[in-house]
Each structure stands twice: as C-alpha cells, then as structure tokens.
C-alpha cells in the first residue's frame, strides 16, 4: 500500500514510525513532515490546509490510504473530498469534525446524545453574553467556538476576567471568526485524562487511557501549550473502568452521528475531567492527541494500518487490539520561550545516543534536516518516549534518554508522570 500521512508534528512522526512497521506498506509520504519523518518516507512540500494539492498528490501517487494527523484538514473537508475520489481516508468528514471545529456544535451534540458535560450556554450576541455573566458563580469558563490553536479557552476567576475574555473574543476578535460565537460553561474541578477510540462509524475499539501535561511550567503552572508530555495508562482512568467510561462518552456520540447519517470514522478523542460526580467531557478532538499519540503507539502491538483500514471499511468488529502491558511516557523537549517567542535553527545532538536504550524512541516534531544536521524549527522540538515495566521505570528511562540530548535553549518539564505516581 501507498500511504500519505498529513501533518508535521511528533504525532505524525510516531504515526509514520508505526505505519512503517506494517507488512502491508510499500511507500510512505508525509505532507509536509519534519526531520524525523524524512527517514521513514518522503516528505512532500504541501501544507495541511491545501486540500486541492493533497487530493491531486493522492491521485497522482495512487495513494491507498490517507492518514490525517491534525484537525484543520478534517474540518476543511479533506476526508469528504478524498471519499468522493474513492481514496480511503482515516479521519472523519467535515460534519463530524465539527465536534472539534465548533465547541457550540460539540456541546449541542453532547446534550442531544446525553453525554455528561459541564452545563453551558451559547451566545452570538455580545451584550446578551455580558449580561449573562452578571449572575453566575465563579470560576466560569469562556470558550471561543472555533479553532483557536488551543488558546480559545479562558477559565475566569471572576466577572472582570470573564468580561475581558468575552470582549477579546467577540469585540476585539482576537481569534477572528472563531470568537464570533462563544460557549460559556460551568467550571469543573478534578483531574483530567485523555480517552481515545478507533471508530468505524458504528463500532469502536478503545485505546488505553493517557494523560497530557498542558501547561508550560512544572506543577501545571503558566500558559497552556500543545502539550509538554504524556503517559499511559493514567491511573485516574484504570483499565477496569474503560468499558463503562466508553459507554458514557464514546458510544452515544458514535451512535448519534450514525443515526444522523454522518458516521464517524477515525479517532474520537474524549478530553475528560474526573469530577466528584464522575467523568465529564471537556472537549472532543477528532484525531490523535499530540503528545498522547506517542506513548499510545509505543504500547500498540497490532498492525495500525490493518486497524485504520478496518475503520474506513466499517469492519472494526473483527479487530482485537493488542496492547503491551508496559507503561509508557513521552517527555516533550521544547525551545525555551515556547509557547511565546523562541529561537529556531539550533543544532540537536545526542538523539542516536538516547536511542541506544532499545526501550526508547525519540520522535521529532519541530525539526528539519539541513546539510545532514538536525536543526530545531518549532516550539515543541522532540518527544522522547520510553516503555517501562512500571510508570516509575518508564519515567526514569525517559529522563535518562532526554538528558543525553542537547540543543541551545532546550526546555523540558521535570515532572512528567508525577501525578500518576502519586495516584499509584
């Protein structure tokens, strides 16, 4: 098979690494890819939002499966366009992708499907939204409806902060069109975890739980990032709870979309908060998480291409996932300054050395190769990922490997996985 992977992050490097292990695969293309993916296939200079160019490329190279990493091309209709050309695509159509592309859509769908989530209201009118803020308990969460690069969610401690967030979104339009509609919702308290499932439109197969570390600073301080590390499983969602949790947060959505004639094929990612009243959905994503994908794929033993084709063909009921019993951890090494301004172009040393431990894999994210050198080219640079017979060993192995890698201005959190250790 010829496979086209769309995206350029650590997630896509880990997807390429896992896909390459499949005996079904002849060639892999990655659009646009990164330094790491260039060793596994051919990087193609097409941006993820250039839908016509992606379609033309897939036709030209007789691609048998397109695997979409990020949400943007899905929201823009890449999967629908490929399906019209009879090219299999792992990832939902633009209607179902609104689960991530529109927070209002997602909340209404959750309400219809009776999925537990924070109480909410949706506003398109600024003065009505402002009025609503007056009689609410705080903290309160203000969310821009559309895609806002992970920055569209403000947990406001008081009415002043909430009003400012609303003004930024609806009047100053700091997120452009994404903030024309806002969701205002109850703030939930608890620990978060990520819960992902392969879906074929009708059936689903769940992956083990994982937990991201969204803030830049240790002990979850400072601004939100794309994710600074992840581990799996997350003790806050233990294996014996997977089935009942999926019944609560995965099954009703899959069923509802199927009934609407909009079957969801791909990865459904539920971002959960474990509250005193049980798990509640904070958000859905319509793709693998980054960095959750890296530790999850380290644990996946099954042929991922077979699973993805089963999703596309509606044959997931035939698939049994084989998951390694080990724990896995991924530590993101970032460029200092991220998620704000940071330097690019610094040479990275020590990746080979880190990978001399056979239980370690270094996934590249913001990197490029120039004259045989690996250079930094983004905020999140690498995802050092390791397996261990328990969480403590996986963490230890991961940091030992990360400490062998060097580049100017490297930054990493030293507490990845600690929440899990405290729970064990």
Q: Compare residues 93 and 229 and give the one whose CB is closer to ligand GLY.
A: 229
For residues 228 and 213, give the distance between their C-alpha atoms in angstroms, rounded to a whole number: 5
Q: Considering CB distances under 5 to 8 angstroms, the limit depending on partner class, which of ligand GLY, ligand AMP, none binds residue 290? A: ligand GLY
What element of type H or E holds 244?
helix 242-249
339: contact with ligand GLY by CB under 6 A: no
Q: Please provide the distance, in angstroms rounded to a whole number, between the alpha carbons at the two ends of the chain.
A: 42
Alpha helices in 251-386 (DSSP H): 251-259, 293-299, 304-313, 351-354
Residues 200-229 that bind ligand AMP (CB under 6 A): 214
Please pick, from the candidates 44, 155, 174, 369, the single residue that binds ligand AMP as defined by CB under 6 A. 155
DSSP string, 200-237: ESS-EEEPPPBEE--EEETTTEEEE-S-SEEEES-TTS
Residue 369: name its binding partner from ligand AMP, ligand GLY, none (Cβ under 5 to 8 Å by kind).
none
- 292 binds ligand GLY per the rule CB under 6 A: yes
Rounded to whole angstroms, the Cα distance separating 169 from 167 reads 5
Q: Which range in 61-69, 180-188, 314-322, 324-332 contacts ligand AMP by CB under 6 A?
A: 180-188
The alpha carbon of 332 is separated from its chain's Cα centroid by a whole number of angstroms, namely 14
Q: Which span sits near ligand GLY by CB under 6 A: 119-127, 163-171, 284-292, 395-403?
A: 284-292
Stretch that binds ligand GLY, among 54-62, 201-209, 286-294, 395-403 (CB under 6 A): 286-294
Confirm or reject binding of residue 285 to ligand GLY (CB under 6 A): yes
Q: Is 71 in the site for ligand AMP (CB under 6 A)?
A: no
Which are the contacts of 379, defined by CB distance < 8 A and separation ≥ 6? 225, 226, 334, 335, 337, 338, 339, 342, 366
Letters for 263-292 (x = contact with ligand AMP by CB under 6 A, - = none) are --------x----------xx---------
Three-state secondary-structure class, residue 321? coil
Q: Which residues contact 413 (CB under 8 A, 6 or more apart)?
A: 213, 216, 217, 218, 228, 229, 331, 332
Cβ atoms of 227 and 211 within 8 Å: the answer is: no
x-or-dash pattern for ligand AMP, window 121-150, by CB under 6 A? --------------------x---------
Select from 96, 290, 333, 404 the one that contacts ligand GLY (CB under 6 A).
290
* Lateral strand order in the sheet of 191-200: 204-206, 191-200, 265-275, 278-285
Structure tokens belonging to residue 360: 């370690």
* CA–CA dist 22, 297 (Å, integer): 13
Is residue 185 close enough to count as binding ligand AMP by CB under 6 A?
Answer: yes
State which of residues 289, 378, 417, 420 lies at the interface with ligand GLY (CB under 6 A): 289
Tell me, by CB under 6 A, how many residues bind ligand GLY.
Answer: 6
User: Contact positions toward ligand AMP, by CB under 6 A?
Assistant: 118, 141, 153, 155, 185, 187-188, 192, 214, 271, 282-283
User: Contact positions toward ligand GLY, by CB under 6 A?
Assistant: 212, 227, 285, 289-290, 292
């Amino acid at each position: 098979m010829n496979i086209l992977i769309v995206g350029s992050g650590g997630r896509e490097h880990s997807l390429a690494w896992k896909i390459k292990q499949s005996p079904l695969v002849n060639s892999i293309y990655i659009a646009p890819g990164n330094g790491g993916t260039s060793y596994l296939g051919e990087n193609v200079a097409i941006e993820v939002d250039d839908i016509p160019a992606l379609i033309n490329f897939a036709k030209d190279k007789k691609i048998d499966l397109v695997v979409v990493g990020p949400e943007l091309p899905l929201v823009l209709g890449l999967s629908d366009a490929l399906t019209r050309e009879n090219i299999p695509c792992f990832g939902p159509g633009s209607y179902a992708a609104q689960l991530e592309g529109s927070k209002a859509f997602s909340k209404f769908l959750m309400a219809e499907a009776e999925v537990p989530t924070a109480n909410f209201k949706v506003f398109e009118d600024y003065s009505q939204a402002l009025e609503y803020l007056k009689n609410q308990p705080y903290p309160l969460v203000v969310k821009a409806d559309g895609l806002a690069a992970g920055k569209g969610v403000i947990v406001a401690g008081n009415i002043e902060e909430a009003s400012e967030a609303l003004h930024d979104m609806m009047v100053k339009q700091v997120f452009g069109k994404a903030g024309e509609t806002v969701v205002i919702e109850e703030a939930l308290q608890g620990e978060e975890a990520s819960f992902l499932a392969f879906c074929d439109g009708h059936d689903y197969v769940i992956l083990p739980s994982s937990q991201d570390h969204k803030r830049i600073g240790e002990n979850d301080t400072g601004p939100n990032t794309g994710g600074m590390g992840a581990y799996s499983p997350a003790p806050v969602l233990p294996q014996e709870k997977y089935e009942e949790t999926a019944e609560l947060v995965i099954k009703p959505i899959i069923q509802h979309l199927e009934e609407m004639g909009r079957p969801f094929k791909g990865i459904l990612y539920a971002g959960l908060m474990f509250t005193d009243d049980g798990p509640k959905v904070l958000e859905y994503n319509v793709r693998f998480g980054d960095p959750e994908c890296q530790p999850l794929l380290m644990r996946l033993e099954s042929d991922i291409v077979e699973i993805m084709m089963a999703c596309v063909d509606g044959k997931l009921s035939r698939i049994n996932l084989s998951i390694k019993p080990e724990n896995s951890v991924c530590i993101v090494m970032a460029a200092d300054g991220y998620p704000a301004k940071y330097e690019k172009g610094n040479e990275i040393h020590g990746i080979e050395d880190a990978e001399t431990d056979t239980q370690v894999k270094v996934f590249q994210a913001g990197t490029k190769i120039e004259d045989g050198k690996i250079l930094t080219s983004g905020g999140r640079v690498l995802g050092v990922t390791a397996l261990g017979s328990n969480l403590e060993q996986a963490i230890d192995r991961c940091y030992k490997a990360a400490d062998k890698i060097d580049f100017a201005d490297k930054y990493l959190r030293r507490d990845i996985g600690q929440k899990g250790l405290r729970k064990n």
